[in-house]
Structure 1
Amino acid sequence: MPDDPQTAGPGWHDLGPAHQLPPGEVIEAVAGDRIVAVANVDGELLALDGICAHQGGPLGKGRLEACTLTCPWHGWQYDVRTGRQQLSQTIRQASFAVQVRSDRIWVRLDPPA
């Protein structure tokens, strides 16, 4: 994937510097018309829909412990590797491909062809 946002290809969005997201942290970012939560789990960046399925809480402002992201509003918890809500097999947050290029976080919102 090219480093220039103009040539990155359809669906890819530049979310900012990767060095500002250390392991164990999560951020909220806007990609296109979506809010995403990007988590750093031991150096691996993972992205989920940033709006909690419960009542729309900001997952990117939540707490990350290992692979579990906790919504700051009502405590709903999600596995950031799968998007699955911890207490229900049927509730899942959309997850997105993430790449780091030239210290920039890139997320792809549409599924690869």
Structure 2
Amino acid sequence: MDTSIICPRFETAISLLSQRWTGLIIYQLLSGSQRFSELTEIIGISGRLLSERLKSLEAQGLITRTVYPETPVRIEYALTEKGRSLQPVMDEIQNWSQVWIDPTEKSNE
């Protein structure tokens, strides 16, 4: 195998997961469906940016958006089978971070 060439599928996957907040949204939805307001509060993301990321994840087939015709309207987001298949990946990142990431060290963003 030629390791000097990155697989285009791998590059696309890393690009998707590395978008700011995307990994946290997926990680949060692994615990079950949630409303928009729950996600903004738990993650600490602006509504505009969360809306952008959710639309992108929906377009990628990773989440579904369900509208309940109630008053007021209730909208919930949940992972699809494709999205839930990221569970082992997210678990391994969580395990790795527990061993190798210093919680007092600031990010380079």
TM value normalised by structure 1: 0.24
Q: Give the structure with the larger strand fraction.
A: 1
TM value normalised by structure 2: 0.25
Q: Give the structure with the larger helix fraction.
A: 2
